[in-house]
Amino acid sequence: MARTTPHDHPQTEDRPLYWRIATELLAELREGVIPPGERLPGERQLAAHFGVSRETVRQALEVLRRDGLVATDRRGSHANLSGHPMEDPVSLAFPVGARTADPCAVDRATVTWETPPPEHAEALGLAPHRPTLVHRYESAAPDGRTLRAAVTSFSAVALSEVEELGRYRDRADGAAAAQLRRAYDWMRKAGLSLHHRDSITQVADAASVRVTRRVHDQYARPLEITDLVVDAQQDALVYEFTVPAAS
Protein backbone atom coordinates (compact mmCIF):
# COMPACT_ATOMS: atom_id res chain seq x y z
CA MET A 1 0.00 0.00 0.00
CA ALA A 2 1.36 3.45 -0.93
CA ARG A 3 2.19 5.79 1.92
CA THR A 4 -0.18 8.75 2.30
CA THR A 5 0.75 12.32 3.20
CA PRO A 6 -1.19 15.29 4.63
CA HIS A 7 -1.24 16.71 1.08
CA ASP A 8 -2.78 13.54 -0.36
CA HIS A 9 -5.55 13.31 2.24
CA PRO A 10 -6.57 16.67 3.71
CA GLN A 11 -9.45 15.11 5.69
CA THR A 12 -8.06 14.78 9.23
CA GLU A 13 -11.03 13.98 11.52
CA ASP A 14 -10.12 10.30 11.86
CA ARG A 15 -6.36 10.80 12.07
CA PRO A 16 -4.02 11.36 15.05
CA LEU A 17 -3.61 14.86 16.46
CA TYR A 18 -0.05 15.15 15.16
CA TRP A 19 -1.33 14.41 11.63
CA ARG A 20 -3.90 17.19 11.93
CA ILE A 21 -1.20 19.61 13.11
CA ALA A 22 1.01 18.54 10.19
CA THR A 23 -1.88 19.31 7.83
CA GLU A 24 -2.52 22.73 9.39
CA LEU A 25 1.17 23.64 9.29
CA LEU A 26 1.43 22.50 5.68
CA ALA A 27 -1.56 24.71 4.80
CA GLU A 28 0.18 27.73 6.37
CA LEU A 29 3.37 26.96 4.44
CA ARG A 30 1.45 26.73 1.15
CA GLU A 31 -0.36 30.01 1.89
CA GLY A 32 2.99 31.74 2.36
CA VAL A 33 2.48 32.53 6.06
CA ILE A 34 6.00 31.11 6.37
CA PRO A 35 7.71 31.57 2.97
CA PRO A 36 9.69 28.70 1.36
CA GLY A 37 13.24 28.51 2.69
CA GLU A 38 12.49 30.65 5.74
CA ARG A 39 13.22 29.17 9.15
CA LEU A 40 10.18 27.84 11.00
CA PRO A 41 9.46 28.95 14.57
CA GLY A 42 10.82 26.65 17.27
CA GLU A 43 8.88 23.70 18.68
CA ARG A 44 7.81 25.69 21.74
CA GLN A 45 6.41 28.52 19.61
CA LEU A 46 4.63 26.11 17.28
CA ALA A 47 3.16 24.25 20.24
CA ALA A 48 1.75 27.51 21.63
CA HIS A 49 0.51 28.55 18.18
CA PHE A 50 -1.45 25.32 17.63
CA GLY A 51 -2.36 24.74 21.28
CA VAL A 52 -0.70 21.32 21.53
CA SER A 53 2.31 19.75 23.24
CA ARG A 54 5.86 19.98 21.94
CA GLU A 55 5.84 16.22 21.41
CA THR A 56 2.83 16.57 19.08
CA VAL A 57 4.65 19.30 17.15
CA ARG A 58 7.76 17.11 16.98
CA GLN A 59 5.72 14.25 15.49
CA ALA A 60 4.01 16.59 13.02
CA LEU A 61 7.35 17.95 11.82
CA GLU A 62 8.62 14.41 11.40
CA VAL A 63 5.66 13.61 9.13
CA LEU A 64 6.51 16.63 6.95
CA ARG A 65 10.24 15.83 6.97
CA ARG A 66 9.57 12.23 5.96
CA ASP A 67 7.70 13.44 2.88
CA GLY A 68 10.26 16.09 1.95
CA LEU A 69 7.96 19.04 2.78
CA VAL A 70 10.16 20.33 5.60
CA ALA A 71 13.95 20.16 5.73
CA THR A 72 16.15 20.50 8.81
CA ASP A 73 19.78 21.59 8.89
CA ARG A 74 22.07 23.37 11.35
CA ARG A 75 20.03 26.57 10.87
CA GLY A 76 16.81 24.84 11.94
CA SER A 77 13.74 23.63 10.07
CA HIS A 78 12.38 25.36 6.98
CA ALA A 79 9.76 24.78 4.28
CA ASN A 80 10.94 22.74 1.33
CA LEU A 81 7.99 23.21 -1.04
CA SER A 82 8.57 23.24 -4.78
CA GLY A 83 7.49 26.21 -6.84
CA HIS A 84 6.03 29.49 -5.58
CA PRO A 85 2.54 30.54 -4.46
CA MET A 86 0.36 31.66 -7.35
CA GLU A 87 -0.04 35.41 -7.24
CA ASP A 88 -2.07 37.88 -9.22
CA PRO A 89 0.00 39.85 -11.79
CA VAL A 90 -0.87 43.11 -10.04
CA SER A 91 0.08 41.85 -6.57
CA LEU A 92 2.50 43.97 -4.58
CA ALA A 93 5.32 42.77 -2.36
CA PHE A 94 5.20 44.05 1.22
CA PRO A 95 6.43 46.56 2.10
CA VAL A 96 6.29 48.36 -1.25
CA GLY A 97 9.72 49.79 -2.05
CA ALA A 98 11.52 47.62 0.47
CA ARG A 99 13.35 45.56 -2.15
CA THR A 100 16.92 46.58 -2.93
CA ALA A 101 18.57 46.02 -6.30
CA ASP A 102 21.76 44.80 -4.61
CA PRO A 103 21.84 40.99 -5.13
CA CYS A 104 24.29 40.63 -2.23
CA ALA A 105 22.08 42.42 0.28
CA VAL A 106 21.03 40.57 3.41
CA ASP A 107 17.39 41.02 4.44
CA ARG A 108 16.00 40.57 7.93
CA ALA A 109 12.42 41.00 9.09
CA THR A 110 10.75 40.33 12.45
CA VAL A 111 7.43 41.03 14.16
CA THR A 112 6.65 42.05 17.73
CA TRP A 113 3.48 42.66 19.70
CA GLU A 114 4.10 46.06 21.26
CA THR A 115 2.95 49.64 21.59
CA PRO A 116 3.59 51.30 18.19
CA PRO A 117 5.27 54.70 17.71
CA PRO A 118 2.88 57.51 18.78
CA GLU A 119 2.45 58.79 15.22
CA HIS A 120 1.55 55.27 14.07
CA ALA A 121 -0.99 54.84 16.88
CA GLU A 122 -2.63 58.13 15.93
CA ALA A 123 -2.80 57.25 12.22
CA LEU A 124 -4.33 53.85 13.01
CA GLY A 125 -6.82 55.19 15.54
CA LEU A 126 -5.34 53.12 18.38
CA ALA A 127 -5.77 54.15 22.00
CA PRO A 128 -2.58 55.32 23.75
CA HIS A 129 -0.37 52.44 24.89
CA ARG A 130 -2.50 49.83 23.10
CA PRO A 131 -0.20 47.19 21.57
CA THR A 132 -0.46 45.91 18.02
CA LEU A 133 1.55 43.92 15.48
CA VAL A 134 4.72 45.82 14.53
CA HIS A 135 6.88 44.61 11.61
CA ARG A 136 10.53 45.64 11.23
CA TYR A 137 12.47 45.18 8.00
CA GLU A 138 16.13 45.87 7.24
CA SER A 139 18.25 45.29 4.14
CA ALA A 140 22.01 45.60 4.64
CA ALA A 141 24.96 45.59 2.27
CA PRO A 142 27.75 42.99 2.74
CA ASP A 143 29.79 45.64 4.58
CA GLY A 144 26.98 46.09 7.12
CA ARG A 145 25.73 49.41 5.76
CA THR A 146 21.92 49.70 5.99
CA LEU A 147 20.40 50.12 2.54
CA ARG A 148 16.73 50.16 3.50
CA ALA A 149 14.88 49.97 6.80
CA ALA A 150 11.15 49.99 7.48
CA VAL A 151 8.84 49.91 10.49
CA THR A 152 5.18 48.99 9.93
CA SER A 153 2.29 49.02 12.40
CA PHE A 154 -0.98 47.22 11.61
CA SER A 155 -4.44 48.32 12.68
CA ALA A 156 -7.00 46.34 14.67
CA VAL A 157 -9.08 46.11 11.47
CA ALA A 158 -6.24 44.48 9.53
CA LEU A 159 -5.56 41.96 12.29
CA SER A 160 -9.22 41.02 12.76
CA GLU A 161 -10.17 40.73 9.07
CA VAL A 162 -6.98 39.32 7.55
CA GLU A 163 -6.61 35.83 8.99
CA GLU A 164 -2.99 35.35 7.91
CA LEU A 165 -1.89 38.52 9.71
CA GLY A 166 -3.83 37.65 12.86
CA ARG A 167 -1.89 34.38 13.15
CA TYR A 168 1.34 36.29 13.70
CA ARG A 169 0.27 37.60 17.10
CA ASP A 170 1.23 34.32 18.79
CA ARG A 171 4.70 34.27 17.24
CA ALA A 172 5.50 38.00 17.49
CA ASP A 173 8.54 37.61 19.72
CA GLY A 174 10.91 39.87 17.76
CA ALA A 175 13.34 37.00 17.22
CA ALA A 176 11.91 34.62 14.62
CA ALA A 177 12.13 35.71 10.99
CA ALA A 178 8.82 37.00 9.61
CA GLN A 179 8.75 38.04 5.98
CA LEU A 180 5.22 39.27 5.19
CA ARG A 181 5.82 39.52 1.44
CA ARG A 182 2.22 38.55 0.61
CA ALA A 183 0.51 40.81 3.16
CA TYR A 184 -1.19 42.87 0.46
CA ASP A 185 -2.37 39.72 -1.34
CA TRP A 186 -3.82 38.49 1.97
CA MET A 187 -5.67 41.80 2.42
CA ARG A 188 -7.11 41.63 -1.08
CA LYS A 189 -8.13 38.00 -0.57
CA ALA A 190 -10.05 39.17 2.51
CA GLY A 191 -12.12 41.45 0.24
CA LEU A 192 -10.30 44.69 1.01
CA SER A 193 -9.47 47.29 -1.64
CA LEU A 194 -6.13 48.91 -0.88
CA HIS A 195 -5.57 52.63 -1.18
CA HIS A 196 -1.92 53.60 -0.69
CA ARG A 197 -0.71 57.13 -0.03
CA ASP A 198 3.06 57.51 0.01
CA SER A 199 4.73 60.73 1.10
CA ILE A 200 8.41 60.84 0.10
CA THR A 201 10.79 63.44 1.54
CA GLN A 202 14.53 64.00 1.70
CA VAL A 203 16.17 63.10 5.02
CA ALA A 204 18.08 66.14 6.28
CA ASP A 205 21.88 65.85 6.13
CA ALA A 206 21.74 62.33 4.68
CA ALA A 207 21.78 60.68 1.26
CA SER A 208 18.44 59.04 2.01
CA VAL A 209 14.74 59.55 1.48
CA ARG A 210 11.94 58.76 3.91
CA VAL A 211 8.71 57.19 2.68
CA THR A 212 5.68 57.37 4.94
CA ARG A 213 3.05 55.01 3.62
CA ARG A 214 -0.56 54.87 4.78
CA VAL A 215 -2.92 52.17 3.54
CA HIS A 216 -6.68 52.16 4.05
CA ASP A 217 -9.53 50.12 2.62
CA GLN A 218 -12.64 50.97 0.61
CA TYR A 219 -14.39 52.10 3.81
CA ALA A 220 -11.56 54.53 4.69
CA ARG A 221 -10.51 52.29 7.59
CA PRO A 222 -6.75 52.39 8.24
CA LEU A 223 -4.95 49.08 7.68
CA GLU A 224 -1.27 49.90 8.17
CA ILE A 225 1.29 52.67 8.30
CA THR A 226 4.94 52.26 7.31
CA ASP A 227 8.03 54.42 7.70
CA LEU A 228 10.66 53.36 5.15
CA VAL A 229 14.11 54.95 4.87
CA VAL A 230 15.96 54.31 1.60
CA ASP A 231 19.62 55.04 0.90
CA ALA A 232 19.05 57.16 -2.22
CA GLN A 233 18.73 60.78 -3.34
CA GLN A 234 15.34 61.81 -4.76
CA ASP A 235 13.15 64.87 -4.89
CA ALA A 236 10.25 64.96 -2.44
CA LEU A 237 6.96 63.81 -3.94
CA VAL A 238 3.61 62.26 -3.04
CA TYR A 239 1.80 59.68 -5.15
CA GLU A 240 -1.33 57.59 -4.65
CA PHE A 241 -2.75 54.42 -6.20
CA THR A 242 -5.49 51.91 -5.45
CA VAL A 243 -5.37 48.12 -5.75
CA PRO A 244 -8.87 46.57 -5.99
CA ALA A 245 -9.96 43.68 -3.83
CA ALA A 246 -9.52 40.20 -5.28
CA SER A 247 -12.58 39.11 -7.26
Give mean pLDDT in consecutive 10-residue pieces for the chain, a chain of 247 residues.
48 72 82 66 85 91 83 72 45 60 73 94 93 90 82 95 86 74 84 86 76 91 91 50 58
Q: Global pTM?
A: 0.60
Q: How far apart are CA 31 and CA 34, in angstroms?
A: 8
Q: State the DSSP code for 206.
A: S
Q: How many CB atoms lie within 10 A of CB 41?
A: 21
- Whole-number pLDDT of residue 103: 63
Spatial CA neighbour of 229 closest among 198, 205, 208: 208
- Which of 71, 79, 68, 77 is CA-nearest to residue 30? 79
User: What number of other Cβ atoms are within 10 A of residue 96's Cβ?
Assistant: 17
Reduced to 3 states (helix: H, G, I; strand: E, B; else coil), residue 10 is: coil
Q: Are 233 and 168 in contact, with CB atoms under 8 Å apart?
A: no
Query: CA distances (Å), 110 to each of 68, 125, 238, in order?
Result: 26, 23, 28
pLDDT on residue 49:
82
